[in-house]
A and B are shown apart, each in its own frame.
Chain A
Amino acid sequence: MVKTNKDRLLEIAVVGEVVHSAVEPLYVTGWDGAPTLGLGRGGIIYNVKPGDPCFGWAWGDKVEPGVSADGTGNDGQKGSFRNFSCVGNQVKIMKGEAKGEAGVVVGKVGYLPGGAHHLVLHFKKETLEKVAIGDKVQVRSVGVGLEFPEHSGVRAVGLSPQLLDVMGLNEKGGKLTVPVAKVIPPEYVGQGSGGAPAESSNWDVMTQSPDAVEFLKELRLGDIVCLKDILTAWGRGYYEGAYTMGVVSCGASVRMGQGLGVTTILTCREGEAIPVLKRGANIAEYLKLGGG
């Protein structure tokens, strides 16, 4: 049993709104110069859910499964929605036809046009049919401040107690072990570098070079992956010996330096938490998300 301080975490309501797809007004130029319209960056996507492939959606670019929402109001209000919400937290629809129905936070995606930032939300199929753009959503945020008293070198970032309890964390030789679907080398890790705070937004695993695509092609939305030599403690950057564990929260991209979004849940500087390869390390299975 891995010890944590989860009984001391504050649970706080944060509010946002279901948003439109984040699209540019013009054609987007792909890495090879080909124009595209870049479909799937948020909004309500009826036919993609955690567990589905990251690659191969027609004209898809950074496809976010299910429903995307962003904070509203001033920077502080937006910041609380983006930073306090954790992967695995419960979300409820507060207004509209789906009022009262619950879902789950499954990822975060930043670096969107106009400074937008999406919380990626999963709802069951019947709810999804009723959700409208503009609906108000409220997250019961809990997870910020999560610590491992016996692993002080491991920092939880945007990890909820709900996911913590089911993702198979264990201990071996004084280290925390984390089941992951893939260990990704640092040369494939792109956009996100230099960004802060660690709690919001995402890393991108670049999907332009053929060797990277070959390496990543089997990954699925919702997979838990490890980014090797990547530190996401007080921002995002390279650090030899560090690890970042995260959840794949959006699909592949044709834009240079962009690709699969990885939302951080754990990080360590000197290998205090180590990855263990496991097929099916995916939040759709862990959180029993079912068909959306």
Chain B
Amino acid sequence: MLRDNRERLLMVAVQGEVVPPSTGGYRTQWDGHPKLALGMGGIKYNLKIGDSCFGWASGDHVEPGVTIRGKEKENPSDCALAHLACIGNEAAVVDGEAKGARGVFTGRHAGADDLVWLPAEAIEKLSIGDKVQVKSLGVGLKLLDYPDVRVNKCSPRLLDSLGIKEKEGRLVVPVVKEVPSFLMGSGIGFGTMTEPVDYDIQTTDPKAVKKYELESLRLGDIVCLKDQLCVNGRGYYKGAFTVGVIIHGSSDFSGHGPGVNPVLSTKDGRLGVELVKRANIADFWGLK
């Protein structure tokens, strides 16, 4: 039985607004070609958590479902939503035609975007500018018998869904893929806080994409990052282990690719993984 301190967590309301899609005109890909990138920001009617990270026409960093941003500060990354919302938290639309619809917080894309799954009928009614409130719960979550394991952006609900086993004093987490450390790219070293930032599994070397079969990755997958430590920030540390959730899709821009929100991390050898065919938050919670 995994013991934690969930009965002492504070549950705090945090809020964001549905934002328009992001577009910055043509941007230059890793190979020198221009691209009008699609899929960041806004309401995506036909892209949801559980879908493929790859292959969307002109897609780049595609964010499933609905993208919201905190508004109480100029930079969304400084807002309470960015720091406190945890994957698996309940989200609710609090104004507009979809008012009252309930969904799930599914991750944070470092640039600016917080991501929410909502049911299809709610998405049909949703407007850009609608407010979404999240009952944040998870900051401060600790595993009492594994104090070295940093828990980040992980709700008690996600912790329970991961299927963690204990074997010989180690936590063993089912994941769909182990990613070598040298593939970790954009977001690495970006600030010293772990909570508001994801980082990318680089997909701008076609050879590496093939070799590590990255095209099998799905939005919401649970993955392992080897030799990566995400306790205070993100970076290389030999022997460290990080488990995270894929929160956005692949990219053609140098150093970018599917984004990972770290949820468990340690350098002290008390975290391991087992490879499984499916481990995805859409399956955990029946998000369709």
**Cβ-closest chain B residue relative to A210:** B238
Q: C-beta contact mask, B209-248 vs A, less than 8 Å → 1, else 0?
A: 0000000000000000001011111111110100000000
Q: How many residues of A contact B (CB 8 A)?
A: 42
Q: Please tell me if B186 contacts chain A, counting CB pairs below 8 Å.
A: yes
Q: C-beta contact mask, A41-67 vs B, less than 8 Å → 1, else 0?
A: 000000000000000000000000000
Distance in angstroms between the alpha carbons of A234 and B29 in the assembled complex? 7
Residues of chain B lying within 8 A (CB to CB) of residue A229: 182
Residues of chain B lying within 8 A (CB to CB) of residue A31: 192, 229, 231-233, 235, 237
Q: How many residues of B contact A (CB 8 A)?
A: 40
Residues of chain A lying within 8 A (CB to CB) of residue B234: 256-257
Residues of chain B lying within 8 A (CB to CB) of residue A190: 188-189, 235-236
Q: Are A206 and B255 in touch, CB under 8 angstroms? A: no
Q: Please tell me if B202 contacts chain A, counting CB pairs below 8 Å.
A: yes
Of the candidates A32, A194, A206, the one having the most CB atoms from chain B within 10 angstroms of its own CB is A194
Distance in angstroms between the alpha carbons of A237 and B182 in the assembled complex? 10
Distance in angstroms between the alpha carbons of A241 and B32 in the assembled complex? 18
Of the candidates B184, B192, B233, the one having the most CB atoms from chain A within 10 angstroms of its own CB is B192
Q: Are B235 and A258 in touch, CB under 8 angstroms? A: yes
Label chain B's interface by main secondary structure: loop
Q: C-beta contact mask, B183-210 vs A, less than 8 Å → 1, else 0?
A: 1111111101100000010101101100
A-B contact count (CB 8 A): 146
Distance in angstroms between the alpha carbons of A28 and B191 in the assembled complex? 9
Q: Please tell me if A188 contacts chain B, counting CB pairs below 8 Å.
A: yes
Q: Please tell me if A238 contacts chain B, counting CB pairs below 8 Å.
A: yes
Distance in angstroms between the alpha carbons of A61 and B4 in the assembled complex? 36
> Which of B187, B230, B254 is within 8 Å of A233, CB to CB?
B254
Residues of chain B lying within 8 A (CB to CB) of residue A238: 182-183, 185, 202, 204-205, 208, 255
> How many Å from the CB of A250 to the closest CB on chain B?
13
Residues of chain B lying within 8 A (CB to CB) of residue A241: 207
Distance in angstroms between the alpha carbons of A141 and B174 in the assembled complex? 54
> How many Å from the CB of B182 to the closest CB on chain A?
4
Distance in angstroms between the alpha carbons of A194 and B190 in the assembled complex? 11
Q: Are A233 and B208 in touch, CB under 8 angstroms? A: no
Residues of chain A lying within 8 A (CB to CB) of residue B32: 233-234
Q: Please tell me if B256 contacts chain A, counting CB pairs below 8 Å.
A: yes
Q: C-beta contact mask, A234-258 vs B, less than 8 Å → 1, else 0?
A: 1111111100000000000001111
Residues of chain B lying within 8 A (CB to CB) of residue A194: 185-187, 200, 253-256
CB pairs A–B below 8 angstroms (29 shown)? A29-B192, A29-B232, A111-B189, A111-B190, A187-B180, A187-B182, A190-B235, A191-B188, A194-B185, A194-B200, A194-B254, A196-B254, A208-B236, A211-B238, A212-B236, A231-B204, A231-B205, A233-B32, A234-B30, A234-B31, A234-B32, A234-B254, A235-B30, A236-B254, A237-B30, A237-B185, A239-B208, A240-B205, A257-B189
Q: Would you list the 7 A-B pairs with minimal beta carbon distance, nearest first? A: A194-B186, A257-B189, A191-B189, A235-B254, A256-B233, A257-B235, A237-B255
Chain A interfacial positions (CB closer than 8 Å to B): 28-33, 111, 185-196, 204, 206, 208-212, 229, 231-241, 255-258
